[in-house]
């Protein structure tokens, strides 16, 4: 938890309580349904929570905007972002039902009113449009963009706000993956945002719609 307050200082008491509660909630649920590796649970705040919040450090989501977390797994990056942005609506999707069960329980345990979930493959979502798609190490960029494009709202002409798009967290050498995607993402190094050894060779990619 100290890692979170090291980089962010303007949380409300409610947000601080919610971030603090993550450890106990995930420890409890992970013992029943394994959605985070046992080894990673020891560094939950660094490897999962702070990593997710790299998106919040680099992007500003306006109140009332809608975000879909594609392949949310145990709720990352969606849950930490939902705590960070209480006025933004987050829709967390995963094709594995037991993972959504954990996400539902965590969101309920935290009292998050801005989180909805769906047990579905992303290709089956055809009834909604979103301002942003977020994702963390789910699939190659080529596939992420193919799935994301139909879900994104149309960019507003001459808007002075961040245009709709895909924001994803990835690691390692991305040259081939980016070349094969046909996209021209903006690439940011997470280590430039959070100076922790773990974030070396971890990146934030943004592909505008």
Alpha-carbon Rg for the chain in angstroms? 16
The reply to whether 78 sits in an annotated binding site is: no
Q: Is 24 annotated as a binding residue?
A: no
Distance CA 80, CA 96 (A): 20
Tell whether residue 76 is among the known ligand binding residues.
yes
71 has binding-site annotation: yes
From residue 54, how far is each of 46, 50, 125, 173, 180 by CA, in Å?
Answer: 11, 7, 26, 19, 25
* 3-class DSSP state of 192: helix
Cα torsion 99, 76, 17, 116 to 10°: value is: -60
Question: Annotated binding residue at 67?
Answer: no
Residue ranges of the annotated binding site are 71, 76, 122-123, 136
Binding site residues for S-adenosyl-L-methionine, as ranges?
71, 76, 122-123, 136
């Amino acid at each position: 938890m100290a890692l979170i307050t090291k980089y962010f200082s303007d949380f409300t008491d409610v947000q601080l309580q919610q971030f603090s509660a993550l450890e106990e909630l995930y420890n409890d649920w992970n013992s029943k349904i394994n959605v985070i590796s046992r080894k990673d649970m020891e560094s939950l705040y660094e490897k999962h929570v702070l990593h997710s919040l790299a998106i919040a450090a680099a992007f500003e989501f306006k109140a009332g905007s809608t975000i879909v977390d594609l392949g949310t797994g145990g709720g990352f990056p969606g849950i930490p972002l939902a705590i960070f942005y209480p006025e933004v609506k987050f829709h967390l999707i995963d094709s594995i039902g037991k993972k959504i069960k954990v996400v539902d329980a965590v969101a309920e345990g935290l009292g998050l009113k801005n989180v909805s979930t769906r047990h579905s493959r992303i290709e089956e979502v055809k009834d909604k449009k979103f301002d942003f798609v977020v994702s963390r190490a789910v699939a190659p960029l080529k596939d992420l963009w193919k799935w994301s494009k139909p879900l994104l709202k149309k960019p507003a002409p001459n808007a002075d706000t961040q245009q709709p798009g895909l924001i994803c967290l990835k690691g390692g050498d991305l040259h081939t993956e980016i070349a094969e995607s046909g996209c021209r993402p903006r690439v940011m190094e997470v280590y430039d945002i959070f100076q922790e050894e773990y974030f070396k060779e971890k990146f934030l990619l943004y592909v505008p719609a």
